[in-house]
Amino acid sequence: MALAVMLLDGASFHGGCCRHKALLSLLGPLLSNSKLYSSYRRPGAEPKKKLSWQNADFSFKKGIDHLKTQLSLLKKESKDYLQGPGGHVLSQRMLEQTRVLWQFRSQEDLNKWVISSDVEIGGKSEAYIKLGRNNQAALLYGTLNTEVPRDGETKYSGYCSMRSKPAVGSFNRKKYYDWSNFNTLYLRVRGDGRPWMVNIYTDPYFSHQKDDLYSYFMFTRGGPYWEEIKIPFSKFFFSSRGRVQDNQHPVWLDKASFLTLGFTIGDKVDGPFQLEIDFIGLLNDRAHTEEFAYETYDKNTPV
């Protein structure tokens, strides 16, 4: 099925064939007037001049090249799977005490992350990312502005974030992080004294769970010195759409549901900010035995 989709996407339509133009002329008004098509756009966002399918670049050569790339990735994944989890020997993975997930040494490492701010909703905050001194860290910097856009809908503003891109395997298959052998998130950062929020995003089973995430605070002390921060996974609390939920539960480390990790600043203080990140990793802290830091109880207590 994936191979058929690749060939169809890469098929080239030449000027002698006009059947696709006839289909577009017939389906265009139908799609634009369909109830499945939503005309809603975020406040401050520019209106789309073309639909997504109208921007497709049909090229047979690009389709073949993309197919070769995906097949090579599939070959590498198969080889790693036969060798062991993550391409490592099983005994080595079982005895693993630390693991580096992300480190920032080149532009390719930065391309694995995406930054965003309240500009998406009409705000005025700015965020940028670049390599630090001697290409030894990622420097996230910008300006926070809590001015609310005057669109009559937005009530709050003033945030910037940095989020890792979801890992993708061959043929655009989702890849998940398995952190079941670790109990602590381990970071080496250097900040300016402002607090941050560390967010873990999961892959939802249902569409109404797409805004669910696990969060905890990261406090930077400022100054010229680096600091190593250890955040146990038992400290992360569950929230949805910015609201902490009553029904709390620990992060399911044994479930293959982790998609991305992110950092958000929104302390309601206008002005510049910066955060340098050397690496992000995992730690198996044998001294930490806490299972969950928050109370768990039933909403309806049985009689």
Backbone φ, ψ for residue 141 (5° rounding) = -145, 165
Q: How far is CA 15 from CA 10, 23, 25, 119, 176, in A?
A: 16, 15, 16, 41, 43
Most confident among 74-88, 116-130, 167-181, 243-257 (mean pLDDT): 116-130
Residue 175 has a pLDDT of 79
Which distant-in-sequence residues (6+ apart) come within 8 Å of 238 by Cβ?
A: 212, 213, 214, 244, 245, 247, 248, 249
Contact 198, 215 (CB under 8 A): yes
Q: Which residues pair with 127 in a beta bridge?
A: 142
Which distant-in-sequence residues (6+ apart) come within 8 Å of 92 by Cβ?
A: 84
CATH number for region 97-283: 2.60.120.430
Which distant-in-sequence residues (6+ apart) come within 8 Å of 112 by Cβ?
A: 102, 164, 165
d(CA 14, CA 223): 62
Region 10-18 average pLDDT? 43
User: What is the per-residue DSSP string for 8-59?
Assistant: HHH----TT--HHHHHHHHHHHHHHTSTTS-----TTPPPPSS-GGGG----
Quick: pLDDT tens for 199-218. 998 877 777 778 888 999 99
Q: Where in the chain is the domain with CATH 2.60.120.430?
A: 97-283
Q: In 3-state terms, what secondary structure has residue 76?
A: helix
Name the band, by pLDDT with cuts 50, 70 and 90, for residue 31. very low
Region 214-224 average pLDDT? 92
Q: In 3-state terms, what secondary structure has residue 91?
A: helix
Strands (E), the chain: 98-103, 113-117, 126-131, 138-144, 160-164, 184-191, 195-202, 212-219, 227-232, 237-240, 243-244, 258-265, 271-283
* 33-37, 58-62, 239-243: range with lowest mean pLDDT: 33-37
Q: In 3-state terms, what secondary structure has residue 77?
A: helix
Name the band, by pLDDT with cuts 50, 70 and 90, for residue 192. very high
Within 10 angstroms of residue 84's Cβ, the number of other Cβ atoms is 14
Region 160-183 average pLDDT? 85
**pLDDT exceeds 90 at position 196:** yes
Residue 34 has a pLDDT of 41
Quick: pLDDT tens for 112-167. 999 999 998 889 999 999 999 888 999 999 999 999 988 888 888 999 999 999 88
Region 57-75 average pLDDT? 85
Residue 63 has a pLDDT of 83
d(CA 275, CA 193): 9
Residue 179 has a pLDDT of 84
Which amino acid does the sequence have at 24?
L
Region 246-266 average pLDDT? 81
